[in-house]
Chains A and B, each alone.
Chain A
Amino acid sequence: MSDGELRANVGQRFGRLPATPADREVAGRVSREEVIDFFDERFGIEPAVFDPFTFWEKGKGKIWIFADTVPSPLRVEGLGMTVLRTRQEHWKPTHSAAQRFGRQADNNVIDLDGEAAAAFVRAENQELEWDGDWGYLIAAHELGGEREPIGVGLYLYGELRSTVPKGNREELSVL
Chain B
Amino acid sequence: MNPLERYAPLVDDREAFFAACERPLPSVVRVNTIKAVVDRVHAGLDDEGIGYETVDWNNELLTFDERGPGTTWPYFHGWLHGQEEVSALPAMILDPQPGERIWDSCAAPGSKTTQLSAMMDDTGVVVGNDNNLGRLSALRHNAERLGVTNLMVTKQDGRNFSLKGFGFDAFDRALVDAPCSCEGTVRKNPTTLEQWTLNHVHSVAAIQKGILSRAIQATKPGGAVVYSTCTFAPEENEAVIDHVLDTEDCEVVAFDCPLDSVPGVTEWEDDTYDSSVTNTHRIYPHHNDTGGFYCAKLRVTQ
A residues touching B (Cβ–Cβ < 8 Å)? 52-53, 65-71, 74-82, 94-96, 99-100, 121, 143-146, 148, 150, 167-168, 170-173, 175
A75 to B148, CA, bound (A): 19
Interface residues of B (CB under 8 A from A): 34-36, 40-44, 46-48, 70-74, 76-78, 122-125, 128, 136, 140-141, 143-145, 147-155, 165-167
Cβ distance B66 to chain A, nearest Cβ, rounded Å: 13
Check if B123 sits within 8 Å of A78, measured CB to CB: no
Residue in B74, B143, B145, B153 whose CB lies within 8 Å of A143: B74
Complex: how many Å from CA A166 to CA B152?
A: 24
Knowing A52-B123, A168-B76, the reply to whether A145 touches B43 (Cβ < 8 A) is: yes
Query: Are B76 and A121 in contact (CB-based, < 8 A)?
Result: yes
Cross-chain contact of B167 among A70, A80, A171, A175 (Cβ < 8 A): A70
Total residue contacts A-B, CB cutoff 8 A: 111
Q: Is the CB of B149 within 8 A of A78?
A: no
In contact, B47 and A68 (Cβ under 8 angstroms): no
Jot down 14 A-B pairs with beta carbons below 8 A, ordered by A: A74-B165, A77-B140, A80-B151, A81-B143, A81-B144, A96-B147, A100-B78, A143-B43, A144-B41, A144-B43, A148-B44, A148-B77, A173-B72, A175-B47
Selected from A75, A78, A146, A172, the residue in CB contact (under 8 A) with B151 is: A78
Instruction: Find chain A residues with CB under 8 A from B44 CB.
Output: 143-144, 148
Q: Which of B35, B73, B141, B155 is close to A175, meaning CB atoms less than 8 Å apart?
A: B73
Residues of B within 8 A of A170 (CB): 70-71, 76
**A70 to B74, Cβ gap below 8 A?**
no
CB nearest neighbor in A for B36: A144
Least CB separation from B50: chain A residue: A173
Given A67-B122, A80-B151, A143-B47, decide whether A100 and B40 contact each other with a Cβ distance below 8 A: no
Chain A, Cβ-Cβ closest to B124: A68
Given contacts A67-B124, A74-B165, A99-B78, contact A172 B147 (CB under 8 A): no
Bound state CA distance, A70 and B150, in angstroms? 11
Q: Roughly how many angstroms separate A8 CA and B41 CA in the complex, as a whole number?
A: 46
**A80: which B residues are within 8 A, CB to CB?**
148-152
A71 contacts B77, C-beta separation under 8 Å = no
- Contact of A173 (CB < 8 Å), options: B48, B150, B152: B48
Of all chain A residues, the one with the shortest Cβ separation from B117 is A67
CB distance from B46 to the nearest CB of A (A): 8
Which listed residue, B47, B123, B145, B155, touches A67 by the CB 8 Å rule? B123
Task: Give bound CA distance, A32 to B62, whole Å.
Answer: 39
Across-interface contacts of A100 in B (CB, < 8 A): 34-35, 78, 147, 149
A67/B150 in contact, CB under 8 A: yes
Select the residue from B76, B122, B147 with max chain A CB neighbours within 10 A.
B76
Q: Which residues of B are found within 8 Å of A68, using beta-carbon distances?
A: 123-125, 150
Besides A66-B149, A143-B73, A170-B71, 9 other CB < 8 A contacts? Answer: A65-B149, A70-B167, A80-B149, A81-B151, A100-B147, A144-B36, A144-B46, A144-B47, A167-B141
What residues on A are CB-neighbors of B165 within 8 Å? 70-71, 74-75
Task: Collect the chain A residues with CB atoms within 8 Å of residue B151's CB.
Answer: 78, 80-81
The answer to whether B77 and A143 have CB atoms under 8 Å apart is yes
Q: How far is the CB of B257 from chain A (nearest CB, A)?
A: 30
Give the docked Cα–Cα distance between A95 and B146 (Å): 11
- Min CB gap A58→B, angstroms: 11
Which B residues lie within 8 Å of A81 (CB)?
143-144, 147-149, 151
Q: Are the CB atoms of A77 and B136 closer together than 8 Å?
A: yes
Q: Are B48 and A168 in contact (CB under 8 A)?
A: no
In the bound complex, residues from chain A placing their C-beta under 8 Å from that of B128 are 78
Which residues from A are CB-within-8-Å of B166? 70-71, 74
Determine the chain A residues whose CB is within 8 A of the CB of B153 once the complex forms.
76-79
Shortest B149–chain A CB gap in Å is 4
A171 to B67 CA separation, bound complex (whole angstroms): 14
Residue of B nearest to A118 (CB): B73
- Give the 4 A-B residue pairs with the shortest CB-CB distance, closest first: A78-B153, A144-B43, A144-B44, A67-B150
Min CB distance B49 to A, Å, is: 8
